[in-house]
């Protein structure tokens, strides 16, 4: 099997460095490009050196040139940067794995449109374990469909800019779908003051930001006399990187299509 040629956006960041390291340690993948924004102090530096594995691939801001030699771009940056990269990937006929969160409806529509021309894996969480949790939540919600209040609690590091996390929102979508509800109309994103009794049809979200928490997510089904909690905790960014590379392998050789990690893992 030919090696899959990987390009990585945001290569100097915490997630980017993990992606670079994991790619360099994979025998069936080859790092061919690494990107940072213009003006970054890391431009020109060896992408592998940042992960302790010099590889001869210099970080550049010329995304178009880098994508010309790549099979797949992996992007965990910001929505506005990801959408710019998406257009360049489409022009280069390069597949894309998108782990960025916080997209507007318009941004999600742009991703779907690009996927008509190139293969795209777009998921709020690339970790294999978290995607197993999504399946468990669907099952639990169908069983606990009466008499249980649903609350979603998530915690991340102090530098995360969007809230609730994309993973928490996806958890809410899974539970709401299993319960026959529309998350947009039943979600409660904050409580303060005299709120009155809880509406049993709502799904609550609570957000914690602090320190260097990689990512903790819990869905609480609270009934009378019992509570069921389904929790996923990330101790490092390695699960996200490993899942992303699994997604890159999945779209290798595909012409077009919009996929998520449930497709990659065969959980449909």
Q: Which is nearest to 90 in space by CA: 121, 62, 111?
A: 111
Phi, psi for 158 (deg, rounded to 5): -65, -15
Phi, psi for 222 (deg, rounded to 5): -105, 115
**Do 206 and 168 have their domain in common?**
yes
Domain that holds residue 208: 128-234
pLDDT in the model for residue 102: 87
Q: Mean pLDDT in the chain?
A: 96
Helix boundaries (H) for the chain: 14-24, 63-67, 79-92, 105-114, 128-143, 166-179, 183-186, 238-251, 261-264
pLDDT in the model for residue 1: 54
Checking if the pLDDT of 18 tops 60, the result is: yes
**Do 197 and 164 have their domain in common?**
yes
pLDDT in the model for residue 51: 82
Checking if the pLDDT of 62 tops 60, the result is: yes
In the beta sheet, which residues pair with residue 4?
29
pLDDT in the model for residue 134: 96
pLDDT level of residue 252 (50, 70, 90 thresholds): very high
C-alpha of 229 from chain center: 22
- Give the number of domains in the chain: 2
**pTM for this structure?**
0.85
**Look-up of token digits 């609730």:** 164
**Do 113 and 242 have their domain in common?**
yes
**Do 223 and 244 have their domain in common?**
no
pLDDT in the model for residue 50: 83
**Do 56 and 139 have their domain in common?**
no
Calculate mean pLDDT across residues 16-45.
96
**Do 122 and 247 have their domain in common?**
yes
Calculate mean pLDDT across residues 67-95.
97
What are the residue numbers of the active site? 156, 160
């Amino acid at each position: 099997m030919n090696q899959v040629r990987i390009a990585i956006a945001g290569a100097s960041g915490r997630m980017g460095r993990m992606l670079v390291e994991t790619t360099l340690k994979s025998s069936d993948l080859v790092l061919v490009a690494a990107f940072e924004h213009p003006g970054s102090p890391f431009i020109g530096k060896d992408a592998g050196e940042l992960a302790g594995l010099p590889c001869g691939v210099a970080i550049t801001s010329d995304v178009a040139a880098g994508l010309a030699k790549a099979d797949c771009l992996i992007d965990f940056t910001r929505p506005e940067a990801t959408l710019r990269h998406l257009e360049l990937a489409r022009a280069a006929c390069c597949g894309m794995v998108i782990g960025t969160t916080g997209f507007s409806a318009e941004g999600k529509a742009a991703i779907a449109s690009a996927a008509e021309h190139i293969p795209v894996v777009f998921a709020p969480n690339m970790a294999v374990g978290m995607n197993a949790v999504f399946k468990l939540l669907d099952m639990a919600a169908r069983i606990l469909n009466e008499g249980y209040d649903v609350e979603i609690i998530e915690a991340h590091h102090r530098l995360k800019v969007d809230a609730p996390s994309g993973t928490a929102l996806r958890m809410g979508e899974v539970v709401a779908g299993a319960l026959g509800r529309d998350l947009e109309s039943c979600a409660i994103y904050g409580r303060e003051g005299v709120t009155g009794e809880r509406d049993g049809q709502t799904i609550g979200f609570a957000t914690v930001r602090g320190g260097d928490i990689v990512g903790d997510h819990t869905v609480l089904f609270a009934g009378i006399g019992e509570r069921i909690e389904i929790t996923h905790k990330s101790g490092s960014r390695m699960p996200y990187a490993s899942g992303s590379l699994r997604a890159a392998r999945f779209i290798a050789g595909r012409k077009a299509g919009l996929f998520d990690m449930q497709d990659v893992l065969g959980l449909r």
